[in-house]
Structure 1
């Protein structure tokens, strides 16, 4: 009979390096993969979304009310977000990426903070000027609850919300 192998976590404790890497990934991201639960089937669904910082440093996405992921977020605000892209060379799995568990909260046009969010968004995403003022578009604030940071082979951390903002 094989001996029991002690179970050890592959995750390191959050430290300065992990916090900086996670925050840098978030700050640089202009798109991400969003995972939601389809309200009709309960199955996971993944889509690509635009992403960017708000005027207070909050994490935002601008979405159409007609999109399936918007319906999903309105039904269940829990979601997953994957940030980070492979570099031009090497194994894609050696490049840093951050998987976040988030809570999405809608920000509607009549909220006082909407105009400043709109201005900041357009500064980072100028092409969205074509649709940002259409009546079905709204922001979701994506509040990180926890994160799993993979900094490359053998470098993984679990992060809390305080590590990510």
Structure 2
């Protein structure tokens, strides 16, 4: 998948201020606790909601959802999604925003149990809803990345591979 750009327009990198795009994107993804999640409803319209987000040891994002939710049912029909991470407490046009496009892959068995534990450590109240029988965890298979670092700091050079790293080695 090509980089996400505004309707095929290239971003003029010469007009941008210097930006360590990969480091910023990794930091945003690792530290984010919430994200906007967009799925496609059966008619093809986007459906957006807010959700918690976490990353596994490789830096790969994952999300929880109940199977009865609209977004979970949308993913069953069409697994294409978009996630946007930003500091929602600030003026969004002056702060970095990270958009990820890809597919939601349901996590099963031992992988589910490991990610469930990690999720509960990050979101302690999730023990309540993760105990429900329709709980699901989905890895986000990132296909494209767009980082808007704030005014004059767009970056379309960050790749999905740039976001994946062994986080276990960095945890003290």
| TM-score calculated relative to the size of structure 1 | 0.85
- Contiguous gaps of at least 5 residues in structure 2: 1-8, 165-172
Q: Partner of 1:153: helix, strand, or coil?
A: coil
2:10 maps to what in 1? 9
Per the TM alignment, residue 154 of structure 1 is displaced from its structure 2 partner at its CA by 0.9
Q: Please name the residue that 1:146 is paired with.
A: 144
Equivalent position SS for 1:162: helix
Structure number with larger C-alpha Rg: 1
Superimposed CA distance per residue, residues 48-85 of structure 1 (whole angstroms, 9 cap, x where no aligned partner): 11111124432110100000000111111111110011
Query: Is contact 2:60–2:163 with CA below 8 Å preserved after alignment?
Result: no
CA RMSD of aligned residues (A): 2.1
- Which secondary structure does the structure 2 equivalent of 1:20 belong to? helix
- Structure 2 distance, partners of 1:56, 1:86, is 26
TM-score (norm 2): 0.81
Higher relative contact order (CA 8 A, sep 6+): 2
Q: How many residues align?
A: 153
Whether the 8 Å contact between 2:98 and 2:145 is mirrored in structure 1 is: yes
